[in-house]
Structure 1
Amino acid sequence: MTIEAVADQITVEVVNPTADKLETAGTPLAPRLDTLNGKVLGLLSNSKPNAEVALRAVAERIKETYPDLKIRLYPGSIRFEPELLRRAIEESDALIGATADCGACTSWLIHDGAQAEKAGVPQVTIVARGFERDTDTSAKVFGVPELRYVVVPRVFTALTAEQAADQTLPLTDEIVAALTSSPAAEATDAEEPPAEEERQETYTFGGATAVEAVDAFNEYYLDHDYGDGLPLHAPTREKVEAIIAAQGRPRDELILTVPPLHGHGTLERIAVNAAMAGCRPQELPVVIAALKAIHACPPPMNLSVLMSTGAFAPVILVNGPLVKKLGINSGRSPLGPGSGNRVNIRIGRAVALTLRNLGAWIPGRMDLDTIGTVRKNIQVLGENEDESPWEPYQVGQGFRPDDSTVTVLHSVGEWDLGSNHGPVDRRLHSLAARTPTLTQVGFMTSTLAGLLGNEDGLFYLLPPETAKKLSEAGLSKDAVRRYFLHNVRPRIADVIAPFIDFRERGLVRPEWEWMFQLSPEEQRTQSIQAFNDPAAINIAVAGHGTPKEFVFGTMTTPITEKIVGIG
């Protein structure tokens, strides 16, 4: 540690953990229209409450000035079906999208607006105040950094239909200008972001003692949102250089751009954040592999899970020889605190600090989570391969047993299930019955709303004793997965409850109408399979001792990345 005594004062010099570059390249805006008269104005409604109300109100006001304007509504969902979006772009001369007033819906709506601009169709998005940074970041990530939007004062979900229209109508002229004038003419009422301090490479802090100097460093870094709220290890140049030297790679090598802001994650910048977490040099390859897996999450989900107003957070599963070599806990309480989990905690903290300082994953900035979750202190665990009767998790993902890997799942929530201690069939039935689905959006968005893919699912952690019992009964991991697929069954009444208003707006697919036609008694007494594809359900073996099972709800398909480098 660089600690020096200078003029009766002890000083410590630390390295700046933030990105020195951001990814800024992009596509220019589509040409704006000379007039809206005689044109087709498409209204992209993502089904958020009052989105359609606001769009119709402003479109009718525009039509008063341009009487030959044709208006077409395209009612979709938070994630527009590709065919619907394609049709809207092909049939419209200009588009207005609404509404961007949560993290996930903002990134998806900006994604769709960017597709329109790239296809040559001008668009403007209606954004609620407080989501401007989210909007700007999404626009950069999706390749149209100058994408145009207007800002309403309040989120639409908090308003009546009349209030939603009233707050949008004053922006009519601004919306027309965004579709018909050059970017230089644009003027929005978005708040100016606070001025950033000039970036410097190192900082020096002093005190009467070494402890005071390190305390001063911590106070400054935490005040500037470089930290996670807990005391930080001082990222001195010596510590950072030791981590870099051990990797055998150029210090300025661009490993990845770090979401959601996509700052440049060079080896050096990632090493600084790992040093702040207290990582040893041999742990950095695990950190890098986890960051690559997070980065590999396909857009727009890569932004949705990090920028949402929902409590989503990455969880990292480590497999292979490095689990033992590094001392990653896979046995008793691998998600818990204490000395046995210090490696797990260091690695998870390094990933979180890198997302924070290189990707601006900071509450109120890029992370717009309403309440938050302790899972954002990113959890890391190893799979207990020694006690598992089944093949390791990474083998099922196409890797070899001797490959060391990380798997990242973006968790929605976590539940301690605790199984029945009777026969295997009773134990499985108990686990399936106790698996929550009401906090999942999976069935509702991917089935009722007609979307494809396994963005939403379940990730079970079964202790070795449970896995052995199941294996001794002749059940493979795949057989257990399929059991859960067919037996995790929510009540129909609970499945359709959040979708009553969707149905009223014609947003539920016709093949699911039968559920709404059932009597209230039938809806309460009948159940339905929660997932359509076994790939939505994942299983790993972890922990040690009493068979107490655990499950994460997942927001994305888990992504597995091979760990490359020292160990």
Structure 2
Amino acid sequence: MNVTLRETGGQTASLSIVNPIARQKVETAEMVRHPAAPRLDTLEGKIIGFFWNGKQQGNQALERTKANLKKLYPDVQFRDYLGAMGGVLRRASDEQLDAMARECDAVVGTSADCGSCTSWLIHDMCGIEQRGTPAIAWTAKQFHEDAHWSANVWGVPDLVISEVPECFTNNSPDRIHAMVDAAMDQIIRGFTETPTTATLDFKRINRESVDERELSYDGADLMEAFDAMQSAFVRAGWSDGFPLVPPTPAKVARMVEASGKPGDHVLGLLEPGFGLATVEKIAANAVMAGCTPAMMPLLLAIVDAFLDYRAGFRGVCMSTGPQAPVILVSGPVVDELGLNCGIASIGPGSQNAANVAIGRAARLFMMNIGLSYPGVSDMDTHGTTMKFSYCVAENQARNPWAPYRMVKGYAEDESTVTINSPFSQTCLYDFQNQDAELLAETFGSAMSSAANAMGAAWLTTHKGADNLPAVWRGDPDNLLILCPDHAQVFHRAGWSLETLREKLYHYSRLPFRKAMLNKTPELFKTVHPHLQWMWEQPDTEISLYGAPESFDIFVTGGDAGWSTWHDGGTYSVTRRVGDI
């Protein structure tokens, strides 16, 4: 262990480390902050816009808000807006933001009662404020800090947050009405009184030492200094819960050198906090995870994939859903770094030391560079163990088709890393079938669940532009991690990857009635007015996924018929190792 030793008056050891915590864009001189828009003298005779981001029961809250305002201000007028992009989570287009600011005297938005939903609703309300029109967001109490933190990130720290005690989702109309009624004074004051936010103190994000390049921890000996560092990181929220390797200056310097770039080189601003992803911060967090210098080109490629807007990283980091990045590695780098692609290729163990370190580094990047911290910018309802570490290598020797990287359009002698951030992990067990058709049908039975986070999302989603994340388009890449035995069954039947995708698409179906169990009928009507006949024929079977191409297939693991299914939340984003 590289440490600094010195006499400290009764203490005999001091551990100096490189600070792994990134600065935020909001902490730089480049950040533009906007004051709140001028408030109204009265709501009488004004036009109030009502923006719905698609969250369930949010429309009921808006209707109750209208009814209450109409009683108080008989001449008030209303205009309704539905987010132009997305499904259950919708956001406004720039054109919509322009229209709301131009057509309305003030705007009420809902609902901020989920992690990324809160951040994106706050984004839209901040956009309206920046255009000179007052805006307020209906926000559930648990997401209050998330909302204020997001307003600060988006540059309007004084945005008014109207708080209710519970989420509107899964709540009865009577309970929603009662919550709205009790909070109406917040709406009226928010539109008529100049808002001022107290000093922003985010209890779950520690920024005290952000400007210090090095941190020091003392103890009676090296182990006590090491323990002091671990305890300090846990208190500050900078730890993933496991002991961390101290990122000493010497270790970090070797990682930076392996990158071929200066330590202050910035790869980009990592969401959700827009942290400055410098090579040195990447190196420091990688050291803490147990990575070696040889891994640095792969780690830089991972961060670059995170920075791709199509990766939907804000949603991945902040969602109440259990999303986590699955890191898929293909090519010569698998052997070069000693990644395991055989027995127990997913999970812990000495055989997976390299896999675990790389996956763990990705999690620390999310936390300490992107500032995704539980309780404010990571709002998981339960969470998932996938967040600790999930890096898996392709078993190319047992893959009967073209290597994964070549399917993605890269050369055989190149190495790639792919990021896909699904919502769940489901085992696909089948020891019985040598018949490819029956095996595909087995898989389809597991994939056909109305409870899948984005299953049948196309029913309620307005597709945005091609360069947008999957959450705004409703067509994520669903990840099938095939074991070699199952892959061989399909290959012996003469199936190409294209054929397998078509079969999975065919077998992953549900009756319309079941597919709509957790969907909002109003959104289905808005998106597909021509399909309303399905209500009269509810047993009509539909595919849960947008197209055969939405299945992404990766081969890894040892013998025996267990494969793994991840229902999608994002697109698969691939980078060539060594390009960054």
TM-score, normalised with respect to structure 2: 0.86
- Which residue is 2:468 aligned to? none
CA distance in 1, matches of 2:174, 2:447: 41
Tell me the CA shift for residue 379 of structure 1.
0.1
Which of 121, 125, 128 is matched with 1:109 structurally?
A: 121
CA distance in 2, matches of 1:298, 1:398: 18
Match of 2:372, SS state, is coil
Q: Does the Cα contact within 8 Å between 2:11 and 2:218 map onto a contact in 1?
A: no
CA distance in 2, matches of 1:421, 1:69: 66
Match of 2:541, SS state, is coil
Q: Does the Cα contact within 8 Å between 1:150 and 1:188 map onto a contact in 2?
A: no
Asked if 1:127 is matched to 2:120, the reply is no
Tell me the CA shift for residue 429 of structure 1.
2.3
Q: Does the Cα contact within 8 Å between 2:126 and 2:159 map onto a contact in 1?
A: yes
- Cα deviation per residue 1:194-240 (whole Å; 9 max; x = unaligned)? 39563143333333432232222212222222111111111111111
Q: Does the Cα contact within 8 Å between 1:244 and 1:267 map onto a contact in 2?
A: yes
CA distance in 1, matches of 2:513, 2:38: 49
Asked if 1:45 is matched to 2:52, the reply is yes
- Which residue is 1:209 aligned to? 221
- Which residue is 1:425 aligned to? 437
Which of 279, 287, 308 is matched with 1:267 structurally?
A: 279
Match of 2:440, SS state, is helix
Structure 1 runs not aligned, ≥5 long: none
- Cα deviation per residue 1:64-83 (whole Å; 9 max; x = unaligned)? 45432211333565333768
Asked if 1:517 is matched to 2:531, the reply is no
- Which residue is 1:466 aligned to? 486
- Cα deviation per residue 1:444-467 (whole Å; 9 max; x = unaligned)? 432244446354342111123332
Give the stretch that moved more between structures: 453-462 or 46-55: 46-55
Match of 2:178, SS state, is helix
CA distance in 2, matches of 1:173, 1:190: 23
- Cα deviation per residue 1:408-452 (whole Å; 9 max; x = unaligned)? 111111111123432222222222233343332324432244446
CA distance in 1, matches of 2:197, 2:127: 22
- Which residue is 1:356 aligned to? 367
Which of 516, 523, 535 is matched with 2:549 structurally?
A: 535
- Which residue is 2:208 aligned to? 198
| CA-atom RMSD in angstroms | 3.1
Match of 1:556, SS state, is coil
- Which residue is 1:335 aligned to? 346
Match of 1:399, SS state, is coil
Give the stretch that moved more between structures: 376-385 or 163-172: 163-172
Give the stretch that moved more between structures: 261-270 or 113-122: 113-122
- Cα deviation per residue 1:26-63 (whole Å; 9 max; x = unaligned)? 47355655654433212113344542333233334334
Match of 1:528, SS state, is strand
- Which residue is 1:58 aligned to? 65
Which of 14, 35, 48 is matched with 1:11 structurally?
A: 14
Match of 1:205, SS state, is strand
Q: Does the Cα contact within 8 Å between 2:440 and 2:507 map onto a contact in 1?
A: no
Q: Which amino acid aligns with 1:563?
A: V
CA distance in 2, matches of 1:190, 1:155: 26
Tell me the CA shift for residue 14 of structure 1.
2.1
Tell me the CA shift for residue 381 of structure 1.
0.8
Asked if 1:294 is matched to 2:306, the reply is yes
Residues 443 and 339 of structure 1, relative CA distance in 2, 3 Å threshold: closer
CA distance in 1, matches of 2:554, 2:352: 18
Asked if 1:80 is matched to 2:90, the reply is yes
Match of 2:150, SS state, is helix
- Which residue is 1:280 aligned to? 292
- Which residue is 2:469 aligned to? none
CA distance in 1, matches of 2:247, 2:340: 25
Give the stretch that moved more between structures: 282-291 or 265-274: 282-291
Which of 364, 381, 386 is matched with 1:370 structurally?
A: 381
- Which residue is 2:173 aligned to? 161
Pairing of 1:138-177 with structure 2 (within 5 A):
138-140=150-152, 142=154, 144=156, 146-157=158-169, 159-177=171-189
Tell me the CA shift for residue 157 of structure 1.
3.3
Pairing of 1:437-448 with structure 2 (within 5 A):
437-448=449-460
Q: Which amino acid aligns with 2:13?
A: I
Residues 143 and 10 of structure 1, relative CA distance in 2, 3 Å threshold: closer
Residues 89 and 386 of structure 1, relative CA distance in 2, 3 Å threshold: farther
Structure 2 runs not aligned, ≥5 long: 465-472
- Which residue is 1:545 aligned to? 559
| Percent sequence identity over aligned pairs | 31
Q: Which amino acid aligns with 1:540?
A: F
Q: Does the Cα contact within 8 Å between 1:424 and 1:470 map onto a contact in 2?
A: yes
Q: Which amino acid aligns with 1:153?
A: P
Residues 350 and 197 of structure 1, relative CA distance in 2, 3 Å threshold: closer
- Cα deviation per residue 1:498-532 (whole Å; 9 max; x = unaligned)? 23x6359966733343333236xxx3xx5321112
CA distance in 1, matches of 2:44, 2:524: 29
CA distance in 2, matches of 1:160, 1:423: 48
Report how many aligned residue pairs link the two structures: 556
TM-score, normalised with respect to structure 1: 0.88
Q: Which amino acid aligns with 2:485?
A: E
- Cα deviation per residue 1:154-213 (whole Å; 9 max; x = unaligned)? 3233654344333334544543454455xxx20469995339563143333333432232
CA distance in 1, matches of 2:198, 2:417: 44
CA distance in 2, matches of 1:23, 1:480: 47
- Cα deviation per residue 1:381-421 (whole Å; 9 max; x = unaligned)? 11122332222223333332333221111111111112343
Q: Does the Cα contact within 8 Å between 2:24 and 2:273 map onto a contact in 1?
A: no
Give the stretch that moved more between structures: 253-262 or 490-499: 490-499
- Which residue is 2:575 aligned to? 561
Tell me the CA shift for residue 535 of structure 1.
2.8
- Which residue is 1:223 aligned to? 235
- Cα deviation per residue 1:123-162 (whole Å; 9 max; x = unaligned)? 2211122313322343455565554432223323365434
